[in-house]
Amino acid sequence: QTVRWHIELQPWASPTPSLNYEASRFLKYISTSQISCEHMNLNSLKGYSKTTKKPWSVCLDERFSLIHRIRSKQCRLYSLGLGSDDRQFELGMASSGCEVHRFDPSARAAHGQEGPRLWYHRLSIDWRDPNPAIAARGLHASTKKLATVLNEFGHQKIDVLKADVESAEWKILENLILEDVVEQIGQLVFEVHIHWPGFEVSGNDSTVVRYWYSLLRELELKDFRLFHTYKDLSKPQVFLKKEAFNASSCYTLSWVNTRWK
């Protein structure tokens, strides 16, 4: 298998690069469901009654594997976050039968258990592994790629990957696509931040938006379909530091891998 170093960039949205055209295409794309999902609420699961502060929507329709894997207690959720105090989604998934792993670099211990099916790890999932020189000196490596963690934990598949990683999501998503790790994931629920380019994303504004759009199109090529978009109106309504395009700085996007039946 050939190693990919870069994603395929989509053609510009207009004959000459234009932020207006790029922003319009991107925002329309993230606001348009590609597949319908009838059952997205955890309240429909046995033993779950709380409402979450934020709609972390997963698709529980019968035609996809998640609901069946929850029922057979074979479901696995990875939650990537930074010191989040809102754990209702994770608790709900654990109480309905999922094995839940929460990755948070601010966790109080390297590894621990919070409940019967809920574990936490003092780790930050990154788009690269730590510098070998640091590892060689025996220093605690607190960042790892998802592929490395899956390998170390002996996990082949993740039913749901939830990520709220404060603007690291673009490079993490790129890494998952380039290394084909997305094919081991059933559903993605990502909070995306568009008030600035994101960590280690460079270029002028139109180039950045074209890159974001191209990343999401790569997901589509991997048979992921967007089924829910939540526009967070509680956050500043800013797009690349501009109050423009009627955009929020933060959206929560949910995709299902249609190959996983």
The residue among 2, 29, 6, 1 whose CA lies nearest residue 177 is: 6
Backbone phi and psi for residue 104, each to the nearest 5 degrees, phi listed first: -150, 115
For position 47, what pLDDT does the model report?
52
For position 23, what pLDDT does the model report?
98
The gap between the terminal CA atoms of the chain, to the nearest Å, is: 25
- Express the helix, strand and coil content of the chain in percent, nearest 5 each: 30, 25, 50
In three-state secondary structure terms, 220 is helix
For position 137, what pLDDT does the model report?
54
For position 189, what pLDDT does the model report?
97
**From CA 121, how far away is CA 128, in angstroms rounded?**
18
Q: Where are the domains of the chain?
A: 19-40+56-257
Token readout for 241 is 């530091």
For position 259, what pLDDT does the model report?
93
- The answer, yes or no, to whether residue 49 has pLDDT greater than 60, is no
For position 167, what pLDDT does the model report?
93
CB 172 within 8 A of CB 163: yes
Lowest mean pLDDT among 32-36, 99-103, 123-127: 123-127
| 2 vs 167: which has the higher pLDDT | 167
Residue 110: pLDDT band (50, 70, 90) is confident
CB 127 within 8 A of CB 154: no
Lowest mean pLDDT among 7-16, 75-84, 227-236, 252-261: 75-84
List the beta bridge partners of residue 106.
none
**From CA 40, how far away is CA 59, in angstroms rounded?**
5
Class of domain 19-40+56-257: alpha beta
**From CA 17, how far away is CA 210, in angstroms rounded?**
9
- The answer, yes or no, to whether residue 138 has pLDDT greater than 60, is no
The residue among 261, 256, 259 whose CA lies nearest residue 37 is: 256
For position 44, what pLDDT does the model report?
64
* Amino acid at residue number 160: V
pLDDT tens sequence across 202-261: 999 999 999 999 999 999 999 999 999 999 999 999 999 999 999 999 999 999 999 987
In three-state secondary structure terms, 103 is strand
Token readout for 45 is 């699961």
Which residue stretches of the chain are H helix? Answer: 19-30, 65-71, 88-95, 132-136, 146-153, 169-178, 205-221
Please provide the average confidence, as pLDDT, over all residues in the chain: 90
